[in-house]
Amino acid sequence: MPELPEVETIRKQLQERIVGKKLNGKRITAVRRRAKLLIIDFVDGSSLVFHLKLTGQLLFNAQPSRYTRKVFVFDDGAQLVFNDLRKFGWWKKVKSFKEIEEKLGPEPLTLTLTVFRSRLVKRPKAKIKPLLMDQRFIAGIGNIYADEILFASQVQPIRRAGGLSLVEIKAIFQNIKKVLKAAIKAHGSSSQHYLDARGKKGQYVRYHKVYRRTGQKCPRCASLIRRIKMGGRSAHFCPQCQK
């Protein structure tokens, strides 16, 4: 799916466009994001929650296509179109968002080094890449940004959390924020299906250093980028300058 930066981009755009409108008679008070979830809040405290998974799109005032699964119509006639080629995405109405909140780890952008370290210490045997993608450990990072964060930190994806030095932990911590913020600035990564609420592509693919660059030169040391399988997902890294 859209990972944190993509959902955050959609959130900002929808916030500007739909707050104050009514959906099914209820006024919208806010558009929030938690991890990779998009949340539309209503005046009565209830929420409409979306998860876009791999191929979901939320388009404002777009024409429905063959992949449109749902069209939400606002009181003024504006529309929110939910498209999803692979049908993994979902939406649901909840009385309170707390029902969903419980299972999620901390938000990457407000995470502190102390919290990050204390959570790593509890999982010494776990490999760092699956850990970064584990939504209970830290919520919002997926395959693209896990690879890019580890490249920026010069740490290989197969490293065990317990074997990381303090310098490496700090680097990963800082790069989580740095990479995600830069990606938000670029409106996310449109590697394949992602479009923002305006139907436009994100530009962060330009800055990808390793993700889907197998066999190309590492921008730091010119070694060839390698791809390995980790738990059914691809991990991309530089075998030379990531230790």
Partner DNA sequence: ACAATATCCTGCGAGC
Partner DNA sequence: TGCTCGCAGGATATTG
List the catalytic residues: 2-3, 36, 233
Question: Which residues, including other chains, have CB under 8 Å from residue 123's CB and lie 6 or more apart?
Answer: 131, 137, 161, 162
Report how far apart, in Å, the C-alpha atoms of 45 and of each of 28, 40, 75, 79, 97 are. 10, 10, 19, 22, 9
Closest CA to 187 of 1, 55, 3, 41: 3
Q: Among the candidate windows 18-26, 70-78, 117-125, 170-178, which touches DNA by CB under 7 A? A: 117-125
Q: Which stretch binds DNA (CB under 7 A): 15-23, 24-32, 125-133, 169-177?
A: 125-133
CB of 136 to DNA, least distance (A): 7
Coil, helix or strand for 148? helix
Among residues 127, 170, 178, 198, the one that binds DNA under rule CB under 7 A: 127
Closer residue to DNA, CB minimum distance, 32 or 127: 127
- DSSP letter at 28 equals E
The minimum distance between CB 25 and DNA, in angstroms, equals 31
Asked if residue 153 binds DNA (CB under 7 A), the reply is no
Residue choice 28, 133, 172, 184 for contact with DNA (CB under 7 A): 133
Q: Are 111 and 141 in contact (CB under 8 A)?
A: no
**Shortest spacing between CB 42 and DNA, in angstroms:** 23
Please calculate the CA angle 37-38-39 and round it to the nearest 5 degrees: 115
Nearer to DNA, 49 or 144 (CB): 144
User: Does residue 138 interact with DNA by CB under 7 A?
Assistant: no
DSSP string, 54-121: TTEEEEETPPP-TTEEEEEEBTTS-EEEEEESS---EEEEES-THHHHTT----GGG--HHHHHHHHH
> Does the footprint of DNA cover residue 125 (CB under 7 A)?
yes
For DNA, the binding residues in 43-82 under the rule CB under 7 A are: 51, 53-54, 66
Task: Write the binding mask 196 to 235 for DNA: x where contact by CB under 7 A, - elsewhere.
Answer: ------x---------x--------------x-xxxxxx-
User: What one-character-per-residue DSSP string does 184-218 give?
Assistant: HHTT-B-SSS---TTSPPPBGGGG-SSTT-TTSBP
Residue 190 binding DNA, by CB under 7 A: yes
Q: Which residues bind DNA (CB under 7 A)?
A: 1-3, 6, 35-36, 51, 53-54, 66, 85-88, 103, 123-127, 130, 133, 135, 142-144, 161, 188-194, 202, 212, 227, 229-234
